[in-house]
Amino acid sequence: MGKLDSILIVGCGNMGGAMLRGWMAAGADPARFTIVDPYVAAAPDGVTLLRELPERHFDAVLLGVKPQGFAEVAAALAPRVDQSTLVLSILAGIELASLAAALPDAAGWVRIMPNLAAALGKSPMALAERGLDQAARDRVGALLAPLGAPEWIDEAQFDLATALVGSGPAFVYRFIDALASGGAALGFTPDQAQRLASGTSA
């Protein structure tokens, strides 16, 4: 597996879209990215948007479809994935063993658990891999670094990472909301309290 210069994003919804926006904001060359998604209305300037899988080769494939669509997408992708293609997945609950079984000819497989802060370059990201050497891990880390802070973990800890990284922001926002409500109860206007609470968390 060489440099990750061409990346196919299969399914570019909320999380895939946040990652793409993060890469664009960090100055990545949009020509590196191709999206396949029947529902996305438009892509950032310079990014190719397709409705069906292309025949060409990509250095990496990022799976961003809903987990229940994995089997169908993997079956369509399998003939296009070879030993020079890295498979990246943000699909909740799809384990490395399942990725490897469905796409057995890949150069390696990586599970990624980011959150929407990837769009701002501030997402913690838990990573677990199968079949990667240190050089490949370094390439994946370099690809994801503009989105936040990649952290390699054991896959056995992935449910914990999902709770902490994936669900954690909801608790942070709930805490901010509680701060704002308390501020409003003590005399600030609701708008003032919300601005002050949000600023405190920045």
The reported pLDDT for the residue numbered 1 is 57
For the beta carbon of residue 139, count every other beta carbon within 10 angstroms.
18
Q: Where are the domains of the chain?
A: 7-166, 169-201
Q: Using CB atoms within 10 Å of the CB of residue 31, give its burial: 0 to 12 exposed, 13 to 18 middle, 19+ buried.
A: exposed
Residue 165 confidence (pLDDT) above 80: no
pLDDT, tens digit (0-9, with 9 covering 90-100), for 108-145: 999 999 998 999 999 999 999 999 999 999 999 999 99
pLDDT digits (tens, 9 = 90+) for 12-37: 999 999 999 999 999 999 999 999 99
- Please work out, in degrees rounded to the nearest 5, the angle formed at the alpha carbon of residue 164 by the alpha carbons of 161 and 168: 145
pLDDT tens digits along 37-81: 999 999 999 999 999 999 999 999 999 999 999 999 999 999 999
Bridge partners (DSSP) listed for residue 130 = 109
pLDDT of residue 202: 55
Q: Topology of 7-166 in CATH?
A: Rossmann fold (3.40.50)
pTM: 0.84
- What is the rounded distance in angstroms from the CA atom of residue 92 to the CA atom of residue 66? 8
DSSP letters of 153-184? --GGGHHHHIIIIISHHHHHHHHHHHHHHHHH
Euclidean distance between the first and final Cα of the chain, in Å? 39
Residue matched to tokens 């409705």: 51
Long-range contacts of 66-70 (CB under 8 A, 24+ apart): 66/11, 66/13, 66/91, 67/91, 67/92, 67/93, 67/94, 69/11, 70/94, 70/98, 70/102
